[in-house]
């Protein structure tokens, strides 16, 4: 491993044990990948909070849990610093920023989560609580190296902004945020960012839902590993919301982390530019039939009552919340239905300012921040046998919990209709 003087000093313990472990782990990671050097990162999102997977380690001491689980070491070292040159903010936590009872969580757990988040804040992490860090201005530019715990952000940053990131993971994001380094490998190396597979889009995509389904349809046809698709087609009406939703879906249904879109993304002004002289390894056509088929396996069929309707994955921006408020104005959520809208705290503050929160609350709904149903997990989901989502990611993730009867996935307006009637009806299924 070729290390700079600064990296060697970190490895020798010159910046303390925490930094030493962090860079040791990054080097271990680099060796598994086959990388021979590291690169500096300047932005990071990290996964703070008392997340459910941490439950397996029994201790009241956050720092003991942190070292064993996130640093993968059988010792306790305080998590008390992060790289000063890096802009680091928190991804979703295990609780809303302020509320716990409506989400079926105990005060004790809420306080534990707050303790975990606050210790990260003391170490230098900006408490944000979002899977969509761009909503608060965390935006890496072309060529900038970053790490993130959010898979949709990985692919969005690589593809739409031309910044450089791999899908590392929860632990490695902490290691990088502490020592400021990641393996120089994969999409951190310019020569590796070329396309591998040409995807012809033979369908006219109009709604956000259709863009989400495109991600799933591509996931069903792409190879299991290491593809960089290049998408060509008619993208006349594309916007940022459609793209963030598409990238999120593609990320959860494949291990793809960069997708060039010809004419849209910066490294793909043309197909030739996207492939950069490399051979096309495979050609795939996605038709309307593929989009329809992708939907079918994600939405259960039985009609019946629903208890949860959830909008906002990735976290909604203020314009998406405005549209919800406009639709729900003067209407009433059916008794027995919890209608939840998810975003990040500053966007919620804007929704308060603009009166959208009041309209949604008067309708019987609520805006939550800092987390989402699948991140909270069983404590929330077990209360709702029949759940409706406007997000493909949520509807896929909650299916692994054997706690529900039906999971329905549709567009936001049909989802809101389900909240208003308290039922899932055949007419709410998404259709072209």
Partner 1 sequence: MEKVILHGRGVISGVVEGEALVCPHSITGWGGINPSNGVITDWDNPNKGRTIKDTILVMPGSKGSNGWSCYFGAVRATGCAPRGWMFTEIDSSAGVASAVMQIPTIVDFAPGEDPCQWIENGDYVRMDGSTGIVEVTKGK
CA 92 – CA 355 distance, rounded (Å): 25
Count how many residues are written for the chain.
Answer: 432
Q: Of 7, 96, 119, 168, which lies in the binding site for partner 1, with binding defined by CB under 8 A?
A: 168
Give min distance, CB of 420 to partner 1, in A: 29
Give min distance, CB of 339 to partner 1, in A: 24
Peptide bond into 168 cis (omega under 30): no
User: Closer to partner 1 at the Cβ: 55 or 111?
Assistant: 55
CB 176 within 8 A of CB 168: yes
Q: Which helix (DSSP H) or strand (DSSP E) does residue 183 occupy?
A: strand 181-183
User: Closer to partner 1 at the Cβ: 167 or 363?
Assistant: 167
Judged by CB under 8 A, the chain residues 146 through 165 that form the site for partner 1 are: 148-151, 154
x/- site string to partner 1, residues 33 to 72, per CB under 8 A?
xx------------x---x-xxxxx----------xx--x
CA 215 – CA 401 distance, rounded (Å): 22
Judged by CB under 8 A, the chain residues 177 through 206 that form the site for partner 1 are: 183, 185-186
Give min distance, CB of 44 to partner 1, in A: 12
- For the chain, how are helix, strand and coil distributed in percent, rounded to 5? 45, 15, 40
Q: Of 127, 170, 232, 273, which lies in the binding site for partner 1, with binding defined by CB under 8 A?
A: 170
Number of Cβ within 10 Å of residue 303's Cβ equals 14
User: Closer to partner 1 at the Cβ: 89 or 374?
Assistant: 374
Judged by CB under 8 A, the chain residues 287 through 326 that form the site for partner 1 are: 297
CB 115 within 8 A of CB 62: yes
User: Closer to partner 1 at the Cβ: 157 or 312?
Assistant: 157
Q: Of 80, 102, 143, 226, which lies in the binding site for partner 1, with binding defined by CB under 8 A?
A: 226
Judged by CB under 8 A, the chain residues 95 through 134 that form the site for partner 1 are: none
CA 354 – CA 376 distance, rounded (Å): 28
Give min distance, CB of 226 to partner 1, in A: 5
- Report CA Rg, the chain: 22
Cα dist. 61→18, 21, 54, 57, 127 in Å?
16, 19, 12, 10, 20
User: Closer to partner 1 at the Cβ: 216 or 242?
Assistant: 216
Which residue in this structure is represented by tokens 């709702």?
384
Question: Which residues are within 8 A (CB) of 301 and not within 5 positions of it... i.e. 6 or more apart?
Answer: none
User: Closer to partner 1 at the Cβ: 356 or 384?
Assistant: 384
The answer to the question of residue 213 lying near partner 1 (CB under 8 A) is no
CB 133 within 8 A of CB 149: no
Q: Of 19, 95, 163, 251, which lies in the binding site for partner 1, with binding defined by CB under 8 A?
A: 251
Give 232: exposed, middle or buried? Use CB within 10 Å, 0-12, 13-18, 19+.
middle
Binding site for partner 1 (CB under 8 A): 25, 28-29, 31-34, 47, 51, 53-57, 68-69, 72, 148-151, 154, 166-173, 183, 185-186, 224-226, 251-255, 257, 297, 374, 377, 396-397, 399-402
């Amino acid at each position: 491993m070729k290390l700079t003087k600064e990296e060697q000093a970190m490895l020798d313990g010159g910046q303390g044990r925490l930094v030493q472990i962090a860079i040791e782990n990054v080097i271990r990671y680099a060796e598994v990948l086959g990388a021979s050097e590291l690169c500096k990162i300047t932005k990071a999102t990290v996964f703070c909070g008392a997340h459910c997977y941490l439950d397996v380690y029994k201790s009241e001491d956050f720092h003991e849990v942190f070292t064993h689980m996130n640093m993968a070491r059988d010792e306790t070292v305080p998590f008390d610093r992060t790289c000063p040159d890096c802009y680091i903010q928190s991804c979703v936590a295990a609780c809303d920023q302020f509320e716990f009872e409506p989400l079926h969580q105990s005060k004790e757990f809420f306080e534990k989560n707050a303790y975990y988040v606050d210790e990260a804040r003391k170490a230098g992490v900006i408490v944000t609580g979002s899977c969509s860090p761009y909503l608060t201005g965390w935006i890496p530019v072309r060529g900038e190296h970053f790490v993130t715990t959010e898979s949709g952000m990985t692919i969005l940053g690589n593809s739409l902004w031309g910044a450089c990131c791999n899908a590392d993971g929860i632990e490695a994001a902490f290691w990088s945020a502490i020592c400021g380094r990641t393996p120089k490998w994969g999409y951190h190396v310019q020569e590796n960012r070329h396309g591998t597979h040409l995807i012809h889009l033979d369908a006219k995509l109009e709604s956000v839902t259709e863009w989400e389904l495109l991600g799933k349809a591509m996931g069903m046809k792409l190879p299991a590993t290491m593809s960089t698709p290049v998408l060509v087609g008619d993208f006349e009406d594309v916007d940022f919301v459609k793209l963030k939703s598409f990238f999120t879906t593609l990320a959860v249904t494949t291990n793809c982390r960069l997708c060039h879109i010809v004419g849209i993304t910066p490294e793909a002004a043309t197909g030739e530019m996207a492939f950069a002289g490399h051979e096309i390894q495979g050609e795939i056509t996605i038709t309307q039939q593929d989009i329809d088929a992708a939907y079918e396996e994600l939405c259960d069929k039985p009609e019946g009552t629903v208890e949860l309707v959830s909008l906002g994955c990735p976290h909604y921006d203020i314009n998406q919340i405005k549209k919800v408020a406009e639709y729900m104005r003067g209407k009433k959520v059916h008794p027995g239905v919890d209608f939840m809208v998810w975003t990040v705290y500053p966007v919620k503050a804007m929704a308060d300012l603009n009166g959208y929160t009041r309209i949604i609350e008067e309708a019987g709904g609520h805006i939550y921040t800092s987390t989402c149903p699948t991140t909270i997990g069983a404590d929330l989901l077990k209360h709702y046998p029949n759940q409706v989502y406007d997000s493909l990611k949520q509807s896929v993730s909650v299916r692994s919990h054997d706690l529900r009867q039906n999971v329905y996935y549709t567009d936001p307006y049909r989802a809101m209709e389900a909240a208003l009637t308290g039922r899932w009806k055949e007419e709410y299924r998404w259709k072209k």
